[in-house]
A and B are shown apart, each in its own frame.
Chain A
Amino acid sequence: DAGVTQSPTHLIKTRGQQVTLRCSPKSGHDTVSWYQQALGQGPQFIFQYYEEEERQRGNFPDRFSGHQFPNYSSELNVNALLLGDSALYLCASSSDWDKSSYNEQFFGPGTRLTVL
């Protein structure tokens, strides 16, 4: 059973460019959450997708957008990249996230984005 997968592993972009990151959830999971983790910090919630719709959103500008496909995989898009967008981007999958208090999120290995 494959866990959560993300691609690419590493990415280098320049300011102003656009980037797309991809995530495939763990088998049986229908909810995908995206996080940004700066060096030495905890993850910051970007948004969560369920049934192909954005269900919740953290405090991130509209430059950050996403999509979920019918097979539950997801993409994170960031436009007009800034130097401050350099971080580890983590995808986490779960199921029935808001149907019970306990639902563990399984994390992918992350995509390390560097903006020059």
Chain B
Amino acid sequence: GQNIDQPTEMTATEGAIVQINCTYQTSGFNGLFWYQQHAGEAPTFLSYNVLDGLEEKGRFSSFLSRSKGYSYLLLKELQMKDSASYLCATKDSNYQLIWGAGTKLIIKP
């Protein structure tokens, strides 16, 4: 079956660093996406990984290990506006996006 696991909720402090993990099992693999979703809003694209390694984009970085079926999203210099849900999604062999349930990130002052 196809499955994506993420922690349900995480808490971090403003200015700190947080790592959100994602493990996946899908039929085929055509890349992994991270999206941010604020409450009541649509998901917005953060990053895409298809090859192993780290992709850095400003305060956000995403890492992929295909052999381990593992990815993480790293958020640095946390700001209050980073409080949101972070969704991990993989594109399977049919190019269909399979989504995790999301990780709710709570930032405290």
User: A interface vs B, CB < 8 Å?
Assistant: 4, 33, 35, 40-45, 48, 56, 58, 90, 97-98, 101-102, 104-110, 112
The stretch of B10-18, B38-46, B63-71, B75-83 in contact with A is B38-46
User: B interface vs A, CB < 8 Å?
Assistant: 4, 30-31, 33, 40-45, 48, 50, 87, 89, 91, 94-102
Which of A56, A97, A110 is within 8 Å of B42, CB to CB?
A110
B94 and chain A: residue at smallest CB distance:
A56
In whole angstroms, what is the CA distance A43 to B45 when docked?
A: 14
In whole angstroms, what is the CA distance A43 to B89 when docked?
A: 10
Q: A43-B43, A110-B42 are in contact. Are A105 and B101 (CB under 8 A)?
A: no
- A56 touching B31 by the CB < 8 A rule? no
- B101 touching A90 by the CB < 8 A rule? no
- A97 touching B48 by the CB < 8 A rule? no
Q: Which A residues are CB-close (under 8 A) to B95?
A: 56, 97-98
Q: A42-B87, A104-B45 are in contact. Are A58 and B30 (CB under 8 A)?
A: no
Shortest Cβ gap from B74 to chain A (Å)? 20
